[in-house]
Amino acid sequence: MQKYQLYINGQWVDSTEDRWIEVEDPATKEVYAKVPRSTEADTRLAIDAAKKAFPNWKDTPIDDRILYMEKLYAYIKEHEEDIAKELSHELGCTYDVALEGQVRMTYSEIEATIKAAREHEMVEEMENTKIISEPYGVVAAITPWNYPLSQITRKIFPALLAGNTVVLKPSQNTPITAYFVADGCDFIKLPEGVLNLVTGRGSEVGSVLAKSKDVDMISFTGSTEGGSTLGAQAQETIKKVQLELGGKSPALVLEDADVELVAKKVLDTVYSNVGQTCSCLSRVVAPRSIKQELEEALIEETKKYTFGNPYDEGTKVGPLSSKKQFEKVTSYVAIGKSEATLLYEGEVKDNKGYNFPPVIFTDVDQNATIAQEEIFGPVLSIIYYDDLEEGIDISNNTIYGLSSAVFGKDIDKCLEIAPKILAGDVHINGASGNSNAPFGGYKMSGYGREKGKYGLWEFLQSKAIYVESK
Ligand code: NAD
């Protein structure tokens, strides 16, 4: 079994203690790797290294920082097959999904971030004033397990391009992908201390980072619960906090919508990562008048997905990512059966791992537990409305506001509704996203934005310098 180290101050080092976190393959339930369960001392060493490296990195010309990041991007591309292989083991998805839906999906985002850095005016002139953009200092990047690479690249590329140094703490469930990123930084000879990797638990490493007076900014992606705890800890030292949190995103369907399109687009978001996508459209809010055709379309579309062992030919959807996830989704489905109508429950071809079948509930009350809480599994809730205003209210009846969709043939009507949806983005008729556009939440889905220039701005603060002219 492979054992990993920590990457601190440009060196691969052992943890200060012999404590480990086991990494399990959710498709086989076998432990195949161990990463250090880093201690407070390890975390402090990483923070110190990042702090020491900051002044030089901040003063490194932006063109040179861009060059480093282009090399890191090239390293990721060159190793895409190895990364996809490891990622599929630690997350439980098929190799094809890992390569296309996880690794390659980061490419356009990385390119958009580099472009934004190239175009950003670090100095802006305004009458007797110069406004300069400056980095914060040491950034702690804390990431979740569901998109092990993109959640890291969305943070470290803009943070480093902006001139910050980074301590990266990936999820304890999927830490292996992060090793490719640290390896890449080592390979391109990124100056020592500019990027440091500490693996471990949120309650241990994450808390030390949140509370440290030497960490200037936290960029956190994870659950709303984790973000709330961490945000409170971080405020003790008044640091900048960016929170990218959970969701319960609605797909608002209008009367004239193409139901086949609704089924295809919605279920793609719900099944493609076994529902373990923050922005997945887990609530369909539809007019009662189209109930029958909509339900038939959703069932037909669901049958096109093969849930099973990700290592078997023909499998489209693998297992949930962990025992914890399996137990959580199982309990939500039991709750759903007691509070709504079960429309469809699919099958799993091979369930050696934490596999879970697709489940659709219908006639769900808008305030039901399964309509309100983030399940993070292949579970869809259909909620019906009688008039459109009610449909909009139901769509907004959630503590979350990450993503959303509106489906209808009349695009002007959809565009009129889009601003009324309280979410960070609205996909009309399932239109795909844009790597240059902002991504982030309203309400308890967090604050701050990722991707493109919006993501870069998060890691910069502005300073006004006033000049007396004589
Ligand atoms: P999580 O909150 O359990 O953990 C996320 C990361 O934070 C992990 O590295 C964890 O170790 C660390 N952590 C957890 N609690 C912490 C604490 N109190 N202090 C410091 N660090 C802490 O989330 P998860 O289960 O890994 O990920 C799933 C969640 O992430 C879902 O809610 C999903 O919606 C959300 N998510 C959001 C986005 C987004 O962009 N908005 C993207 C992906 C995932």
Residues 332-384 have pLDDT tens digits of 999 999 999 999 999 998 779 999 999 999 999 999 999 999 999 999 999 99
Statement: residue 96 has pLDDT above 80: yes
Report the distance separating Cα 396 and Cα 414, nearest Å: 16
Q: How many A from CA of 171 to the centre of ligand 1? A: 8
Statement: residue 160 has pLDDT above 90: yes
Secondary structure of 344-367 in HEC code, one letter for each residue:
EECCCCCCCCCCCCCEEEECCCCC
250-435: which CATH number, 3.10.20.600, 3.40.50.970, 3.40.50.150, 3.40.309.10? 3.40.309.10
- Residue 254 dihedral angles phi and psi, to the nearest 5°: -95, 165
- Residue 3 dihedral angles phi and psi, to the nearest 5°: -110, 140
Amino acid letter for position 214 = D
The 3-state DSSP class for residue 158 equals: helix
User: To 5 degrees, how large is the angle CA 87–CA 92–CA 98?
Assistant: 45
The 3-state DSSP class for residue 148 equals: coil
Angle between helices 150-161 and 176-187 (to 10 degrees): 30
User: Which DSSP category does 134 fall into?
Assistant: E
Atom of ligand 1 nearest to the CA of 170: 9
Q: How many A from CA of 227 to the centre of ligand 1? A: 7
β partners of residue 437 = none
Decide whether any atom of ligand 1 lies within 6 Å of the 142 Cβ.
Answer: yes
Q: Under a CB-based contact definition with an 8 Å cutoff, are residues 340 and 375 in contact?
A: no
**313 a catalytic residue:** no
Statement: residue 115 has pLDDT above 90: yes
Decide whether any atom of ligand 1 lies within 6 Å of the 234 Cβ.
Answer: no
The arithmetic mean of pLDDT across residues 277-282, rounded, is 98
Amino acid letter for position 106 = T
Q: Which two tokens stand for residue 408?
A: 């209808």
Q: How many A from CA of 383 to the centre of ligand 1? A: 28
Q: Where in the chain is the domain with CATH 3.40.605.10?
A: 2-245+445-466
Lowest mean pLDDT among 90-94, 313-317, 436-440, 466-470: 466-470
Tell me the Ramachandran region of residue 137: left when phi exceeds 0, alpha when psi lies from -120 to 50, beta otherwise.
Answer: left
Q: Where in the chain is the domain with CATH 3.40.309.10?
A: 250-435
Catalytic residue among 244, 295, 450, 458: 244
| Secondary-structure class of domain 2-245+445-466 per CATH | alpha beta
Q: Which two tokens stand for residue 323?
A: 């025992």
Q: What average pLDDT does the chain have? A: 97
Q: Which two tokens stand for residue 247?
A: 């969701």
Atom of ligand 1 nearest to the CA of 445: 41
Q: Under a CB-based contact definition with an 8 Å cutoff, are residues 383 and 335 in contact?
A: no
Decide whether any atom of ligand 1 lies within 6 Å of the 278 Cβ.
Answer: yes
Statement: residue 285 has pLDDT above 90: yes
**244 a catalytic residue:** yes
Catalytic residue among 278, 301, 374, 414: 278
Residues 161-209 have pLDDT tens digits of 999 999 999 999 999 999 999 999 999 999 999 999 999 999 999 999 9
Q: Under a CB-based contact definition with an 8 Å cutoff, are residues 435 and 109 in contact?
A: yes
Q: pLDDT tier at 266 (50, 70, 90 boundaries)?
A: very high
What does the pLDDT read at residue 306?
96
The DSSP element (H or E) to which 314 belongs, if any, is none
| pTM, rounded to two decimals | 0.97
By C-alpha distance, which of 311, 303, 223, 297 is closest to 271?
Answer: 303
Angle between helices 80-91 and 176-187 (to 10 degrees): 160
The arithmetic mean of pLDDT across residues 215-229, rounded, is 98
Residue 415 to residues 16, 255, 401, 428: CA-CA distances in angstroms?
56, 15, 18, 8
Full strand arrangement of the beta sheet holding 30-36: 2-3, 30-36, 20-25
Q: How many A from CA of 107 to the centre of ligand 1? A: 23
- Residue 307 dihedral angles phi and psi, to the nearest 5°: -95, 130
Report the distance separating Cα 447 and Cα 185, nearest Å: 29
Share of the chain above pLDDT 90, in %: 98
What does the pLDDT read at residue 349?
82
The arithmetic mean of pLDDT across residues 388-408, rounded, is 98
The arithmetic mean of pLDDT across residues 80-104, rounded, is 97
Atom of ligand 1 nearest to the CA of 154: 40
What does the pLDDT read at residue 269?
98
Instruction: Kindly report the number of other CB atoms within 10 A of residue 420's CB atom.
Output: 15
Report the distance separating Cα 298 and Cα 155, nearest Å: 36
What does the pLDDT read at residue 30?
96
Residue with tokens 């109508």: 341
Give the pairing type, strands 341-345 and 359-362. Answer: antiparallel
Statement: residue 433 has pLDDT above 80: yes
Instruction: Kindly report the number of other CB atoms within 10 A of residue 408's CB atom.
Output: 21
What does the pLDDT read at residue 346?
97
The DSSP element (H or E) to which 109 belongs, if any, is helix 105-119
Residues 372-395 have pLDDT tens digits of 999 999 999 999 999 999 999 999
What does the pLDDT read at residue 469?
79
Statement: residue 328 has pLDDT above 80: yes
What does the pLDDT read at residue 74?
98
Report the distance separating Cα 212 and Cα 230, nearest Å: 12
Q: Which residues contact 234 (CB under 8 A, 6 or more apart)?
A: 210, 211, 218, 241
Q: pLDDT tier at 322 (50, 70, 90 boundaries)?
A: very high
Residue 470: Cβ-neighbour burial (10 angstroms; 0-12, 13-18, 19+): exposed
Provide the CB-side half-sphere exposure for 377 (13 A, CA).
28
